[in-house]
C-alpha cells in the first residue's frame, strides 16, 4: 500500500512539474542580437556561487525555485554549505546591489565522484537549498518535463551563460555576464568525442554535447555550473536542459562542452527534494485565495509532501552523505561553537596520530 501511495505521489509531482510552467522561463528583456555581452536583467535566474565574505566568483548556477539553485557537483566540494553564498540578480560581477543568501543544504547524487577523470562525471550536479527565500522577487527558469518533448535535437541552437574567462590566454574572469549560442552535437559523433587529449566517453542518456564546429566560442574556466538553455517553440518559455560540466579547451573546435542532461535527473530530484515540484506562486501577493479548487490542491500538496517525507528517502540521502547534505541550521550548535569543536577534535586526532607514529617508530627501533 505504501509503495502505491509513493508512486501516486511521484506521478502527482510530475503532473505539477508539467502544468506549473506559467511562472517560469519568462525572459524580462530580449538579449542583444548577435552580441556577446548579455543585456542587463535579461537572465534573472542566473546566479554566482561564491565563498562567504570573499568577493570571488567560483561557479555559475541557475535558480529553479524560490529557494533552490542547480549547479555542478564539482563546484560544491571546496567548503561546507554555510561557507557558500549565492548571489542573484547581478549582471556585473563586482556589483554590490543584489540578493545574497547563504547555502543551507547541498544535495548531491550518491554516485557522484569528485575526480579529474572527465569520463567519470555523469553525476556532476548539485542542488543548493538557500537559507533565504527569494519570495518570488526573481523569475525562475523552467525545468524540462518527463512527458514533454521540447523539440530539441541534434543541430538545435542553445544558449549558455557565464562570467568565465573569455579567452584561453587570460586568467581574468569577465566582469559582465556573457552569453553564447552553441549547437547541440551528436554525443556519439566524432566532433563531440574528439579532444586534443584523446577521445571522450559521453553517456548520451545523461550528458549533452554542444559547441561550434568552427570554434571561437564556448565555455571556459569560471563557467562551470551555469545553464544550457533552450527556448521552446511551443510556449516561448526558457527551459534548463543542461548544466555546464567541463571542456578540454576554451572555444576550441576540437573541444566541445559537455553538459549534464537535466531531464535525466528529474526523477532523482522528485524523489529527494519533493519541495521543488510543489505548487507555488512566484509572488507573495497571489498566495491568498478562497476558491475551493485552490484549497483542494493545497491540501493534496501538503499530504503528498508528508507521504514522500515519511518514505525516508531524503533522510537516508542526508545521512549517507554527511558532508554533502550537511544542514547548516539543523543543529542547535551555533557556527561559532561548531568551529571551536572542530578545532578541538582536530587537535585531538592530530595528537593521537602522532602518538601512534611514535609508538610504531620506537617499537621498530627497540
Q: Which residues of 263-295 are buried (b: 16+ CB within 10 A; e: fewer)?
A: bbbbebbbbbbbbbbbebebeeeeeeeeeeeee
Closest CA to 328 of 109, 85, 110, 112: 85
Q: Collapse the DSSP code of 343 into the 3-class scheme (helix H, G, I; strand E, B; otherwise coil) and give the result.
A: helix
Closest CA to 207 of 195, 190, 193: 193
Closest CA to 161 of 234, 90, 81, 79: 90
pLDDT tens across the length of the chain (366 residues): 545 544 544 444 444 444 444 589 887 765 433 346 777 788 999 999 999 988 889 999 999 999 999 999 999 988 999 999 999 999 999 888 899 999 999 999 988 887 666 556 789 999 999 999 999 999 999 999 876 667 677 778 899 999 987 766 777 888 899 998 998 988 776 667 666 666 667 888 999 988 876 555 567 778 899 999 999 988 899 999 999 998 766 755 556 888 999 999 999 999 999 998 875 433 333 333 333 333 333 333 333 333 333 333 333 333 233 333 434 333 333 344 444 444 444 444 544 444 544 444 444 444
CB count in 10 Å sphere of residue 165: 20
pTM of the full predicted structure? 0.69
Q: Collapse the DSSP code of 61 into the 3-class scheme (helix H, G, I; strand E, B; otherwise coil) and give the result.
A: strand
Q: Which residues of 296-315 are buried (b: 16+ CB within 10 A; e: fewer)?
A: eeeeebeebbebbeebebbe
Q: Collapse the DSSP code of 179 into the 3-class scheme (helix H, G, I; strand E, B; otherwise coil) and give the result.
A: strand
Q: What is d(CA 224, CA 247) in angstroms, rounded to the nearest whole number? A: 9
Amino acid at each position: 500500500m505504501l509503495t502505491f501511495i509513493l508512486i501516486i505521489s511521484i506521478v502527482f509531482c510530475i503532473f505539477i512539474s508539467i502544468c506549473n510552467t506559467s511562472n517560469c522561463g519568462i525572459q524580462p528583456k530580449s538579449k542583444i542580437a548577435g552580441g556577446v555581452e548579455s543585456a542587463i536583467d535579461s537572465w534573472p535566474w542566473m546566479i554566482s556561487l561564491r565563498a562567504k565574505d570573499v568577493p570571488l566568483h567560483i561557479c555559475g548556477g541557475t535558480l529553479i525555485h524560490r529557494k533552490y539553485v542547480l549547479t555542478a557537483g564539482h563546484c560544491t566540494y571546496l567548503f561546507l554549505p554555510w561557507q557558500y553564498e549565492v548571489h542573484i540578480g547581478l549582471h556585473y560581477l563586482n556589483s554590490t546591489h543584489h540578493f545574497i543568501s547563504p547555502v543551507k543544504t547541498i544535495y548531491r547524487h550518491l554516485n557522484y565522484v569528485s575526480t579529474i577523470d572527465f569520463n567519470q562525471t555523469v553525476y556532476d550536479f548539485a542542488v543548493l537549498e538557500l537559507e533565504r527565500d527569494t519570495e518570488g522577487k526573481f523569475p525562475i527558469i523552467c525545468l524540462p518535463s518527463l512527458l514533454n518533448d521540447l523539440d530539441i535535437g541534434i543541430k538545435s541552437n542553445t544558449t549558455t551563460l557565464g562570467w568565465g574567462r573569455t579567452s584561453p590566454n587570460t586568467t581574468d574572469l569577465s566582469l559582465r555576464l556573457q552569453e553564447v549560442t552553441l549547437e547541440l552535437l551528436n554525443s556519439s559523433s566524432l566532433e563531440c568525442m574528439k579532444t586534443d587529449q584523446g577521445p571522450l566517453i559521453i553517456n548520451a542518456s545523461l550528458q549533452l554535447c554542444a559547441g561550434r564546429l568552427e570554434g571561437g566560442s564556448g565555455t571556459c574556466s569560471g563557467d562551470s555550473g551555469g545553464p544550457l538553455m533552450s527556448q521552446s517553440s511551443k510556449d516561448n518559455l526558457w527551459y534548463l536542459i543542461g548544466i555546464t560540466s567541463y571542456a578540454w579547451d576554451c572555444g576550441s573546435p576540437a573541444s566541445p562542452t559537455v553538459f549534464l542532461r537535466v531531464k535525466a535527473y528529474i526523477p532523482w530530484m522528485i524523489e529527494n527534494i519533493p519541495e521543488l515540484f510543489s505548487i507555488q506562486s512566484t509572488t507573495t501577493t497571489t498566495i491568498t485565495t478562497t476558491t475551493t479548487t485552490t484549497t483542494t490542491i493545497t491540501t493534496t500538496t501538503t499530504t503528498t509532501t508528508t507521504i514522500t517525507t515519511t518514505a525516508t528517502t531524503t533522510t537516508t540521502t542526508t545521512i549517507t552523505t554527511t558532508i554533502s547534505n550537511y544542514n547548516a541550521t539543523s543543529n542547535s550548535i551555533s557556527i561559532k561553537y561548531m568551529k571551536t569543536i572542530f578545532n578541538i577534535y582536530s587537535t585531538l586526532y592530530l595528537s593521537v596520530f602522532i602518538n601512534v607514529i611514535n609508538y610504531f617508530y620506537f617499537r621498530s627501533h627497540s
